[in-house]
Amino acid sequence: MITRLDRLGRSMLHLITLGADLRERGIGLAEGRAMFGMLSVLAEFQRELIVANTRDGLAAARARGRKGGRPSKLSQDQIELAQHLYDAGDHTVAQIAGMLKVPRTTVYGHLDQRARNGTTRRIPEVPETAAIARTSRSCPTCGHEPTTRAEASHQRADLAVIWLHPDPQCSESLICRSHCRHCEPDQPAFDIACAVCGDGPILAGALAESAAAEGLSEPVQRWLIAAGWATTPTLRRPDHK
């Protein structure tokens, strides 16, 4: 059932053509040809007003520094607080996320944004079986070596997080990696959180998009079960079964 003309056609010309087609098929218009024409003009005019107002609103938002999209879960003060706590070296990302009551992926997405906006990062493809010459403090993915004790403390906490990536060679397999802040994957990311402690691996790339839209995929669930996780009735780490 069509209750509004702007839902029936895309433009006045489309509505007039549709009206002529209905008349040729012997279908009468309850409101008459003249009323149908006037309403089609008003419907198109209303649609053009909505489009113009939307564009004006987006332009005004851009002028105020807004880029559109979903609003951030963190205010600018919270983002600066998270960065300060992280840089101070006294709190891990998981602890900062708990303080701000947001997922770890939200905190990861806002940390060091100024550096991210100025550079394009590339994560090297490292074979799972390859031996990387590094010290115990260096990142196994990019090889970054921390230069201060605070950075080393952060890097140990960051490398303790497991990131699951799609295997480019096999759609049913996953690749496990650890990342420091310098090679951490960009958004999207999806946080698999234990129902007891809130800790767990993070999905990256297509795995994250699939989990956000449809829930955990079969390969991800198989990985969790193989790692000792309980998946029903809630997600729980092996030490919280």
Model confidence at 11, in pLDDT bands (50, 70, 90)? low
Residue at which a domain ends, from 13, 39, 63 = 63
- Residue 71 within any structural domain of the chain: no
Residue 87: which domain range? 76-240
- Residue 202 within any structural domain of the chain: yes
Q: Is the pLDDT of residue 45 over 80?
A: no
pLDDT given for residue 232 in this prediction = 85
- On whether the pTM is more than 0.85, the answer is no
Same domain, 84 and 128: yes
Same domain, 106 and 49: no
Structurally, how many domains does the chain consist of? 2
71-128 tens-digit pLDDT: 677 888 888 888 888 877 777 788 888 888 888 888 887 776 544 444 444 444 444 4
DSSP symbol at 172: E
Same domain, 58 and 81: no
Higher pLDDT residue, 25 or 162? Answer: 162
Which residue, among 177, 178, 196, has the nearest Cα to 239 in the 3D structure? 196
Length of the chain equals 241
- Residue 142 within any structural domain of the chain: yes
pLDDT given for residue 203 in this prediction = 92
213-224 tens-digit pLDDT: 888 999 999 999
- Residue 70 within any structural domain of the chain: no
Q: Is the pLDDT of residue 39 over 50?
A: yes
- Per DSSP (E only), the strands in the chain are 163-167, 170-177, 189-191, 202-204
Same domain, 49 and 83: no
